[in-house]
Structure 1
Amino acid sequence: MTLTWEELVVDCQDFLAQGHWWADALGWQIVDEDEDSIELRNPDAPGPTLLFLTVLEGKTTKNRLHLDFVPDDQDAEVDRLVAMGASRIDIGQQKQSWVVLADPEGNEFCVLAAR
C-alpha cells in the first residue's frame, strides 16, 4: 500500500477570506474556488495543496498542527505578514530563533530563521 499526501485541509469561519489571504501570503495559485471551498497550490513545486473549508465553530485552543516557513529574511517576512493582517502571538515559547504568528483567524504558524 502506498499513500500520497494530497492536501492539508484548513477549517475556518470564512474560507474565501482565509484562502485569499494565504494565497497572497505564500504567492500560491488558486486552483479551485467554489461556494464551498478554495484550494491553493504552490506554482513552483509539486506537493500537497491547501484546501480551505468553512466550519461553524471558531478556533478555541492552540493548534495541534501548524505550518513552518523558512524565508530569505526573517524580519522582513514577519513585517510583511503582519502588515497583511497576521499577528505576533505568544504560545509560551521562550526566546527562540523562530517567530510565532497567527493568521487573521488565529491559526498559528512559524517563520523560522533563514537557513
Structure 2
Amino acid sequence: MPHKSRLAGFIIDCRTDDLKAAAEFWSQALGYPVGEHTQEDEAEYYKLDDTAADLHVEVQKVSHASRVHLDIEADDIDAEADRLEKLGAKRIAFVRRWWVMEAPSGQRFCVVRMRDRPNGAPPNEWP
C-alpha cells in the first residue's frame, strides 16, 4: 500500500540540567526564537519557531550523550519503518508514538507521525 514521508526536522539532544539555557543557545545560534515548552513524564522539549521550510526543530533533554538526530515523518509509520529496513536500517525501539531507528552507518533517527505543514516540502510518495 502506498504511503508518504518527508524530512520532519531536527532534534537537538542535550544532556543538561538547564534545558532553557540550551534552548536559548540554539535559538541564538540558529536565529529561530524559542517557542513552546513541553514536559510530559520524563520528556522535556523546547520547540524553535519560524524555521526554514517549516521544519520542526526541537531542543530535547536526554540522559544519553548530546547529539543531533533527524526525524522522518510519515502518514504510515510502520510502512515507512518497513521501507527503511529494506534499505538496511534497523528498528531499535517503539517509543510513545514513534520508531527509533538506526541507519546502516550507525546514526539514530526517528520515524514520527506526519503533521500538517502547509509551508513544508511536499512529501515523497512510496509504492
User: Which bin holds the TM-score, normalised by the shorter protein?
Assistant: 0.3 to 0.5
Task: Output the TM-score relative to the length of structure 2.
Answer: 0.37
More strand by share: 2
